[in-house]
Amino acid sequence: MYEKVKTVQNHIKEPFWIVLLVALMLTVLSFVPTSFTVFGITTKPVTMFSDVTYKEEVKIVKVEAPKPVVKPAPVGFKDKDSLSFKKGYWPIEEYAASKQDNLAVFYNALMNAKKKKVHLAFFGDSMIEGDIVTQDLRAMLQKRFGGRGVGFVPIINFIPGFRQSIHQSFADNWTAYTVIEDRQPAIPYGLGGEAFVPSITNDGKAASWASFQGVKQSEGLDSFHVVKLYYSNPNNADAKVFVKKDGVSTTLPLANGGGLKVLTLNSGKALYSLQMSFMASDKVYVYGASFEDTTGVYIDDLDMRGSSGQQLSVIDDGIMHQFQNELNIKCAVLQYGLNVVHTNTTDYSYYVKGFANTINALKNKLPQCGILVNSVSDRAVKKHGGYETMPEIHDFAAAQQGIAKQTNTAFWNLFQAMGADSSMINMVNSDQPLANKDYTHFKPMGGSCIASYFYYSMLYDYERYEWDYIQKKNGHS
């Protein structure tokens, strides 16, 4: 008697044919309209090859642009250079209670810039990293109001070689502290929320060093005329700095004591290269150096990747006040938002409260200083096989405008100035790309465009103020 053997069928090939059939169906559906609305619900289109197709669809969300609050022009005022018709012009909205408050402080200083230097502290996130935007703004303002030099520069750079407005190199044995990563109350952070500690050593060969050289990127940057070192020595360390100017060396002591200390390294004579080496028996907090002249206007690039701007409140009031007096800071621009705005988030009340508190704190840190809040720039995200402006940008820019109103400061809508919806997409896809493929950050040439938009908007506002000021001075109402 034989046992009946059960036959087992081979099903290994069936999953392959099922997957192949589904792939074929999706491929066919990718080339026919599959987006439709039923009972108010819109289906998404089938896009089998959305991640590999070259052509990127652009969806423009039509949202009514906010109407800018334009200050009435003074009677008889005529735009000197048709500034209001320049590409990218968008009016600055001033919410200060008095015409003599806020940006008027900066404009008054600009009128005297050929007699006394004035600084604009440009705080921001990665949008201005490496002096992008600020380097071109600086060049345009200096061409109009004078000045030679890049202003304040941190002693080390977190992205060495990226900045093109000054050549900078440094040792790898510095210890860096920032208000984002550390937030230690005992650390006396500097102007940009950073503090750098050189290696504690008595061996000159192991000293932490930093060197700077001029560049020919734009006029006035190839040499240094007035150079000052900014630091704090709260532990009264036995510290000194070895300075090499165009190959000529000298040794200078660093003063003891907390607060901001200033050491003039060069004054007057043109200098082309500078190296500083630090030796200390205890912690000395080095902030950076200013490269400037006694007159003209200077833009301090104070970028910090990942910042929302609220970290500025951590910086000591006294140190900030001392920086203001030393540099003659008369305007602070706040360029934040990329690290705050998120998809599916429309309620930014928490940020409005927090950043308003930061601005009010900044008023104490930088008294008699105009404050200008810039809106977030356009940003695109990938949706439905293409790119479109992140819808939340509109809500966040409106929230930033509300912060400026609440704090009686000024507001400039960068998002609208650069073209609003799809402007970032257009910059990425231009013949010569002006922005990176992350659809968030500008390339240097794109930063130049943004700088010109800001410059002409501010210059138009300045010229109206200047005209009105002169009329009143001459007894005309």
Max CA separation in the chain (angstroms) = 128
At residue 55, does pLDDT exceed 50?
A: no
At residue 14, does pLDDT exceed 80?
A: no
Sign of CA dihedral 441, 331, 274, 172: negative
C-beta separation of 325 from 119 below 8 A: no
Tokens of 318: 């006294």
Hunting for tokens 């090859």 — which residue is that? Answer: 49
Q: Using CA atoms, how far apart are residues 291 and 448, in angstroms rounded to an integer?
A: 22
Q: Using CA atoms, how far apart are residues 74 and 217, in angstroms rounded to an integer?
A: 38
How does pLDDT run across 24-35, given as a tens digit for each residue?
Answer: 776 665 555 544
- At residue 77, the pLDDT reads 76
Q: Using CA atoms, how far apart are residues 140 and 134, in angstroms rounded to an integer?
A: 10
Contacts for 92 with CB less than 8 Å, ≥ 6 apart: 103, 372, 410, 411, 412, 457, 458, 461
Contacts for 6 with CB less than 8 Å, ≥ 6 apart: none
Q: Using CA atoms, how far apart are residues 418 and 425, in angstroms rounded to an integer?
A: 11
Average pLDDT over residues 221-244: 96
How does pLDDT run across 104-129, given as a tens digit for each residue?
Answer: 999 999 999 999 999 999 999 999 99
Would you call 87 exposed, middle or buried from its count of C-beta atoms within 10 A (0-12, 13-18, 19+)? exposed
Segments making up each domain of the chain, as ranges: 63-147+296-477, 153-294
Between 137-141, 362-366, 397-401, 464-468, the lowest mean confidence (pLDDT) is in 464-468
How does pLDDT run across 405-426, given as a tens digit for each residue?
Answer: 999 999 999 999 999 999 999 9
- At residue 13, the pLDDT reads 57
pTM for the complete prediction? 0.85
- At residue 69, the pLDDT reads 64
- At residue 38, the pLDDT reads 41
C-beta separation of 330 from 119 below 8 A: yes
- At residue 455, the pLDDT reads 97
Cross-strand bridge partners of residue 374: 335, 412
At residue 148, does pLDDT exceed 80?
A: yes
- At residue 44 the predicted structure's pLDDT band, cuts being 50, 70 and 90, is very low
Q: Using CA atoms, how far apart are residues 40 and 2, in angstroms rounded to an integer?
A: 67
Phi, psi of 451 (to 5 degrees): -60, -40
C-beta separation of 46 from 29 below 8 A: yes
Q: Are strands 208-213 and 167-170 parallel, antiparallel or unpaired?
A: antiparallel
At residue 71, does pLDDT exceed 70?
A: no
Residue 369 CA: distances (Å) to CA of 24, 91, 118, 128: 65, 20, 11, 21
Q: Are strands 224-233 and 285-292 parallel, antiparallel or unpaired?
A: antiparallel
C-beta separation of 296 from 148 below 8 A: yes
CATH class of the structural domain 63-147+296-477: alpha beta
Instruction: Please provide the average confidence, as pLDDT, over all residues in the chain.
Output: 87
Amino acid at 332: A
Cross-strand bridge partners of residue 273: 213
Tokens of 466: 């200047």
Contacts for 293 with CB less than 8 Å, ≥ 6 apart: 117, 147, 148, 149, 225, 226
How does pLDDT run across 298-327, given as a tens digit for each residue?
Answer: 999 999 999 999 999 999 999 999 999 999
Between 76-90, 227-241, 372-386, the lowest mean confidence (pLDDT) is in 76-90
How does pLDDT run across 177-205, given as a tens digit for each residue?
Answer: 999 987 788 899 999 999 999 998 777 67
pLDDT-above-90 percentage for the chain: 69
pLDDT-above-70 percentage for the chain: 85
Residue 175 CA: distances (Å) to CA of 182, 195, 197, 287: 12, 8, 5, 12
Average pLDDT over residues 205-213: 91
CATH superfamily of 153-294: Galactose-binding domain-like (2.60.120.260)
Average pLDDT over residues 432-440: 92
Crossing angle for the helix pair 134-145 and 444-473, to the nearest 10 degrees: 30
Between 73-77, 233-237, 295-299, the lowest mean confidence (pLDDT) is in 73-77
Does 37 or 76 have the greater pLDDT score? 76
- At residue 70, the pLDDT reads 63
For the chain, the first-to-last Cα distance in angstroms comes to: 124
Phi, psi of 219 (to 5 degrees): -60, 135
- At residue 470, the pLDDT reads 85
At residue 231, does pLDDT exceed 50?
A: yes
